[in-house]
């Protein structure tokens, strides 16, 4: 019986090969990936009895979308996420969908995802940051998301600003900061790859 012999040079050449995809295709893949990750983050959900807003992992992926895909493609990923949810795909927290979600208490957060991804991507395109600066920047964007979400709660539920912040900001502050720090650390470790 004949045995198969591998040429060591051919094996090394095969292992050293890299598949190079066009940048435009990589951007499309990235957009699709962050739509999916944001939807998965919506399913990682802890309802809170005292507020209509659940704890989710969506904001973690929103921050990474802006950081990794930058302003244009990061905001496109979040905009398409919102549009797909509005037209009926069960992508929002708890598998919800439809325009009613945007008009409901969590709508401000969903709209802020698009803006947050754009703003973070813009700031990261313009300058280099240390890990400490990234932590501050990511946390600031998280606070922006929580603030817009709370302001929409004030309008939507017709409560005063203090009540809105008790419902939409305070319960999510510590978790939001932790998600921001984790996202900033991941981005700092991976930023040379993008």
pLDDT for the residue 125? 93
Residue at 22 is within a domain: no
Instruction: Note whether 43 and 95 are within 8 A (CB).
Output: yes
Give the pLDDT score at 174. 98
Report the alpha-carbon angle 85-91-92, nearest 5: 85
Which pLDDT belongs to residue 2? 62
Q: What Rg do the C-alpha atoms of the chain give, in angstroms?
A: 20
- Residue 3 falls within a domain, yes or no? no
Residue 162 falls inside a structural domain: yes
pLDDT of residue 185: 97
- Cα–Cα dist 60/179, whole Å: 5
Task: For residues 121 and 70, give the distance between their C-alpha atoms in angstroms, rounded to a whole number.
Answer: 4
Could you give the number of structural domains in the chain? 1
Per-residue model confidence (pLDDT) at position 3: 62
Q: What is the pLDDT of residue 52?
A: 96
* Within-domain flag for 20: no
Give the whole-angstrom CA distance, residue 174 versus residue 172. Answer: 6
Residue 125 lies in a domain: yes
Backbone φ, ψ for residue 34 (5° rounding): -75, -25
Give, in order, the Cα–Cα distances in Å from 74 to each of 4, 30, 31, 41, 122.
49, 9, 7, 16, 10
- 43 within some domain: yes
pLDDT of residue 193: 78
Question: Domain containing 139 — which CATH number?
Answer: 1.10.1760.20
Low-confidence spans in the chain with pLDDT less than 70: 1-4, 11, 14-19, 194
Q: Give me the sign of the Cα torsion angle 12, 14, 15, 17.
A: positive
For the chain, how many residues are written? 194
Q: Which residue, among 96, 79, 95, has the nearest Cα to 35 in the 3D structure?
A: 79
**Domain of 186?**
30-193
**What does the pLDDT read at residue 17?**
66
- The helices-and-strands tally (H runs, E runs) of the chain is 8, 2
């Amino acid at each position: 019986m004949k045995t198969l012999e591998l040429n060591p040079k051919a094996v090394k050449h095969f292992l050293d090969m890299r598949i190079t995809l066009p940048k435009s295709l990589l951007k499309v893949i990235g957009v699709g990936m962050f739509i999916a990750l944001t939807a998965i983050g919506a399913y990682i959900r802890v309802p809170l009895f005292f507020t209509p807003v659940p704890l989710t992992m969506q904001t973690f992926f929103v921050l990474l979308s802006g950081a990794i895909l930058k302003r244009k493609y990061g905001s496109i990923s979040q905009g398409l996420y919102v549009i797909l949810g509005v037209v009926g795909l069960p992508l929002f927290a708890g598998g919800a969908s439809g325009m009613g979600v945007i008009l409901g208490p969590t709508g401000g957060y969903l709209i802020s995802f698009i803006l947050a991804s754009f703003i973070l991507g813009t700031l990261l395109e313009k300058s280099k940051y240390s890990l400490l600066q990234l932590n501050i920047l990511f946390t600031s964007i998280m606070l922006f998301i929580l603030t817009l979400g709370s302001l929409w709660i004030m309008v939507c539920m017709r409560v005063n600003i203090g009540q809105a912040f008790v419902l939409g900001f305070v319960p999510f502050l510590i978790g939001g900061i932790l998600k921001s720090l984790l996202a900033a650390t991941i981005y700092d470790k991976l930023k040379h790859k993008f």
